Amino acid sequence: MQDWEISAADFYFAVPVADLPLGTVAAVDFYIRTRDGHSVYLTAGQDLNDSIRLAHDSSGIESLYVQSGKAGPYVRGAFEAARLLLDSTDAPAAKRAQAIRTSAGATALHLVHNPGVQSFQMAREITELTVAETLESPESLTALVKMTYVDQELHYHLVNSSIYAIALAGPLGISAPDCLITIGLAGLLYDLGMARIARRTSTGDPDLDPVVRQHVYIGRDLIQSVPGISREVRDAAVGHHERWDGGGYPAGLQSTRIPLTGRICAVVDTFDVLTTTVPDGTPVGAFQALRAMSRDMPGRFDPALLRALVVGLSA
C-alpha cells in the first residue's frame, strides 16, 4: 500500500473519460497525467465533441484529471448536467445512470477534500435524485428516508455513505442502471435501524452492545416493509457489520458469502465515520482513513472493495 500522505495543493482527482458527456462545454481545465506531473489536455470553454472522444480512444486515455482547487465548479457542473438529464423524461436509462454515477463520483471527491455545508447539500440532492429514480411506491420510500431526519448525525452519515457507495461503482465496473440505483439506495438506508435505537452513552464497543446490534434486524424489517425495494438493499442493512474474515455479526458470514451490498456498506460506513466523527472527537483526513482501514483493520473488509475505494477517491 502506498503512503497516503499527500499535499492537498498537489492533489488531482481522476474523471473517467467515459463519464464525460458529449456535447457539453468544459467548465474547468482537464489534465492528463504525465511522467513529470500533469499537463493541460482540455481547456475550460472547449467543447467535448466526437473528435476529442476519438482522440481519447486512439491514445488510450481512460481518465482526465481536475485540480482539487477547481473541484467546486466541476462538481456543480456535473450535478447540473445530471439534473437536466434526469429531468428529461425521454433520456435513456443508461444515460440517466451515467449522470448519477458521474455527479456522485465528483461529489464524493468534493466531500473528501472540501467538507462542509455546500458539499453535503449537493450530496443530499444527488441522493434525492437517486431515490426519485425508484418508481415503485415513491411515497413509502420517501417516508422511510425521512425517518433518518430525526437524527441529524445519522442523516448526514447515510447521505455521505450513499454518495461513496455510488462512487465505488466506477472502479468496480458497475454501470447497469438498476444496479447503480440499488447501490445508492443501499448506502442511503443500510443504517436505518439506528433511527429506532436510542442514543446510548456506554463507553464500550457498540459492536458488543446487544441493543445496538439489533439495528441490523430493525433496518432490514423497515426496508422489507416497502414494496418494490430490492432484496440487495435489505441485505445491506443486515450485512454491513459482517466481516471478510467471518468475525462480524449477526451471522458470522465470511468472504463472498456476505452479500455485495453488505460488503460495500461496511467499507463506506467505516470510511465516513473515520472522516467525520471518531470516539475522541477528532476526525482524520481521507488518506489517513484509507491507510488505517488498509493497515490497522485486517480481515474486516473485502480487499477488492477497499482497493476500489482507494481508486475512486484518490486516483
Q: How many domains does the chain have?
A: 1
CB neighbour list of residue 247: distance below 8 Å, 6 or more residues apart? 299
Most confident segment among 51-65, 136-150, 218-232: 218-232
pLDDT in tens, 131-157: 766 644 556 667 777 787 778 888 889
2 within some domain: no
Q: Is 15 helix (H, G, I), strand (E, B) or coil?
A: strand
- Say if 20 falls within a structural domain: no
**Residue 298 backbone phi and psi in degrees, to 5:** -60, 140
Host domain of residue 208: 75-314
Q: Taking a C-beta distance cutoff of 8 angstroms, is the pair 147, 195 a contact?
A: yes
Within-domain flag for 278? yes
Tell me the pLDDT tens digit for each residue of 110-120.
777 666 666 77
* 31 phi/psi in degrees, rounded to 5: -120, 160
Burial per residue of 193-211, b for 16 or more beta-carbon CB atoms within 10 angstroms, e otherwise: bbbebeeeeeeeeeeeeee
State yes or no: pLDDT of 193 exceeds 90. Answer: yes
Whole-number pLDDT of residue 127 = 79
pTM: 0.75
Is residue 45 in a domain? no
Residue 223 in contact with residue 233, Cβ under 8 Å?
Answer: yes
CA distance 88 to 92: 9
Measured from the Cβ of residue 304, the count of other Cβ atoms closer than 10 Å reads 12
Q: What is the rounded CA–CA span in Å between residue 263 and residue 269?
A: 10
Question: Please, are residues 255 and 263 in contact by the beta-carbon 8 Å criterion?
Answer: no
Q: State the chain's mean pLDDT as an integer.
A: 79
Write the pLDDT tens digit of every residue in 257-293. Answer: 999 999 999 999 999 999 886 555 567 778 888 889 9
CATH code at position 145: 1.10.3210.10
* DSSP designation for 47: B
Indicate whether 5 belongs to any domain. Answer: no
* Any domain includes 282: yes
Per-residue confidence band for 252, with pLDDT thresholds at 50, 70 and 90: very high
Answer yes or no: is pLDDT of 3 > 50: no
Q: How distant, in Å, are the alpha carbons of 10, 64, 65, 152, 303 from that of 20?
A: 23, 9, 12, 34, 28
pLDDT tens-digit profile of 163-178?
Answer: 899 888 878 888 787 8
Phi, psi of 120 (to 5 degrees): -65, -40
Q: Is the previous residue joined to 250 through a cis bond, with omega within 30 degrees of 0?
A: yes
End-to-end CA distance of the chain: 13
